[in-house]
């Protein structure tokens, strides 16, 4: 009988823990809004949004940046050429996050998402994988890429580079990802 009561107590503890975790939601972003024909979002309060000045190609390119620290133009024109650089001055601050939103046109197998468990990114399905590029030279301690199938011929990548982010900053990032509204059916 003692073993039965022990198992019952353990089961109740597991159910209580699962219920506590399931009730947690990420904060709703209340900062600056961004709208395009393809998507819209609101950044977390105090975060900056900057469109990229890099030249795009038919295959895609950098769309914009979102960060919780000051941003600068990524490809300032000097004479007749643009000289591209990271959109932050130096390195990420401790607790800093930089999101680089990249659009990529694709065909057939080139549109397959990397192997990983599906997650919701706004009103679309996507995956999160470790970043193997895109976060170099800015003091990153944690990098991820969130890939989203926007259409059968387009996959966007949100390259998230972070430097020792707090739990509150990570939660703000997840709230931002939850709140993206894709406008393409």
pLDDT of residue 25: 75
Q: Report the 10 Å Cβ neighbour count for 26.
A: 16
pLDDT of residue 79: 61
Residue 52 within a domain? yes
Tokens of 64: 């914009």
For the stretch 25-79, pLDDT in tens is 778 888 999 999 999 999 999 999 999 999 888 899 999 999 999 999 999 876 6
Domain count within the chain = 1
Residue 10 within a domain? no
Residue 173 within a domain? yes
pLDDT of residue 81: 62
Selection from 81, 95, 91, 43 nearest residue 65 by Cα: 43
pLDDT of residue 6: 42
Residues of the chain short of pLDDT 50, as ranges, are: 2-23
Residue 5 within a domain? no
Residue 60 within a domain? yes
Residue 37 within a domain? yes
Stated as kind and residue range, the H or E segment containing 27 is none
pLDDT of residue 179: 94
Q: Is the dihedral of CA 68, 69, 73, 74 positive or negative?
A: negative
Residue 140 within a domain? yes
CATH number of the structural domain spanning residue 48? 3.40.1000
Residue 7 within a domain? no
pLDDT of residue 141: 95
pLDDT of residue 118: 94
Q: Which domain holds residue 95?
A: 29-182
């Amino acid at each position: 009988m003692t073993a039965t009561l022990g198992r019952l107590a353990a089961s109740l503890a597991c159910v209580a823990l699962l219920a506590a975790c399931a009730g947690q939601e990420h904060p709703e972003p209340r900062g600056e809004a961004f709208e395009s024909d393809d998507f819209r979002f609101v950044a977390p309060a105090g975060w900056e949004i900057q469109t990229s000045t890099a030249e795009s190609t038919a295959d895609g390119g950098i769309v914009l940046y979102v960060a919780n620290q000051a941003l600068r133009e990524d490809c300032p024109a000097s004479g007749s050429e643009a000289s591209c650089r990271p959109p932050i001055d130096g390195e990420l601050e401790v607790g800093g996050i930089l999101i680089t939103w990249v659009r990529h046109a694709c065909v057939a197998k080139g549109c397959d998402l990397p192997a990983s468990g599906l997650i919701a990114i706004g009103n679309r399905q996507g995956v999160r994988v470790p970043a193997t590029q895109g976060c170099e030279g800015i003091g990153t301690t944690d990098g991820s890429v969130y890939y989203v199938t926007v259409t059968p011929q387009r996959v966007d990548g949100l390259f998230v580079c972070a430097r020792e982010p707090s739990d509150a900053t990570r939660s703000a990032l997840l709230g931002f990802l939850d709140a993206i509204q894709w406008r393409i059916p």
